[in-house]
């Protein structure tokens, strides 16, 4: 069989032309497209990696913030608990102080009430004693209590030392009496005082029932008095002193 070299050359030339055409117009664009797509894919992968890195950073930051928030929440909770405990303790202390103050106030009111009752009873007893003493003295001496009180007071006034008399002189004199003095008694008291303290002194008489059967002279801030109240006070101190001593002795034996 004879070889047709022309056909072979023609076909070879056509193949070479086809290969050149494919390389020129088909293969190279495909390679370029593949390269472009590879670059695009690499860029997308890099972008995804970058975003993943940002997500990781944000996750770490979020976790850090959550930890800080948990710590702050724990601190605030502890602070609130401590403040609540402190407020509770303060409320209990205030309540205790209020209770103590109320108890002291109650005791003070009770003591004041007892003292008031004691003073009223004491005043009543003194008045009764005064009435009894007045009647007894009148029955025994045949003269009124007023008539007996005046000489006793004047005698006490005359018995003052010169220094005491001097301290009462030189000013106005106020004479207070628990009873109404007669004109004769007032004149006697005035003349005696002028004789003791000096003539021409200003003198005023006042009634003072609180003295309970007595007379009081006050001048220059000084006082001289005589009254049943003095004897009752001494008697009261004596009785209270004895009661206190007996109470202490009783407590000592009990121990």
User: What is the set of domains in the chain, with CATH numbers?
Assistant: 145-246 (3.30.2320)
Q: Is 170 left (phi over 0), alpha (psi -120 to 50) or beta?
A: left
| Pairing relationship of beta strands 214-219 and 222-227 according to DSSP bridges | antiparallel
CA-CA-CA-CA dihedral for 40, 43, 45, 46, to nearest 10: 180
Angle at 199 between CA 193 and CA 204, to 5 degrees: 55
Query: Model confidence at 246, in pLDDT bands (50, 70, 90)?
Result: low
Answer whether 202's CB lies under 8 Å from 189's CB.
Answer: no
Per-residue pLDDT at 254: 41
- 104-162 residue pLDDT tens: 887 888 888 888 877 777 767 766 765 666 555 445 444 466 677 888 888 888 888 88
3-state secondary structure 126-192: HHHHHHHHHHHHHHHHCCCHHHHHHHHHHHHHHCCCHHHHHHHCCCCEEEEECCCCCHHHHHHHHHH
156 or 200, higher pLDDT: 156
- 26-83 residue pLDDT tens: 667 777 777 788 788 888 888 888 888 888 888 888 888 888 888 888 888 888 888 8
Query: Model confidence at 236, in pLDDT bands (50, 70, 90)?
Result: low
């Amino acid at each position: 069989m004879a070889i047709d070299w022309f056909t072979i050359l023609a076909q070879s030339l056509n193949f070479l032309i086809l290969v050149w055409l494919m390389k020129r117009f088909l293969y190279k664009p495909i390679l370029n497209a593949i390269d472009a797509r590879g670059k695009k894919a690499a860029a997308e992968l890099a972008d995804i990696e970058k975003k993943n890195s940002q997500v990781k950073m944000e996750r770490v930051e979020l976790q850090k913030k959550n930890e800080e928030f948990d710590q702050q929440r724990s601190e605030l909770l502890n602070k609130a608990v401590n403040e609540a405990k402190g407020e509770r303790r303060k409320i209990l202390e205030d309540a205790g102080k209020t209770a103590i103050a109320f108890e002291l106030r109650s005791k003070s009111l009770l003591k004041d009430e007892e003292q008031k009752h004691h003073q009223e009873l004491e005043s009543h007893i003194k008045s009764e004693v005064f009435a009894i003493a007045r009647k007894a003295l009148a029955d025994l001496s045949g003269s009124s209590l007023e008539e007996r009180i005046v000489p006793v007071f004047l005698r006490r006034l005359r018995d003052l030392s010169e220094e005491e008399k001097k301290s009462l002189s030189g000013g106005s004199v106020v004479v207070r009496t628990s009873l109404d003095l007669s004109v004769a008694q007032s004149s006697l008291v005035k003349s005696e005082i002028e004789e003791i303290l000096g003539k021409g002194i200003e003198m005023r008489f006042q009634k003072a029932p609180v003295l309970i059967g007595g007379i009081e002279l006050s001048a220059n801030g000084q006082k001289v008095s005589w009254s049943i109240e003095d004897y009752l006070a001494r008697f009261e101190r004596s009785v209270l002193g004895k009661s206190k001593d007996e109470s202490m002795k009783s407590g000592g034996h009990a121990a």
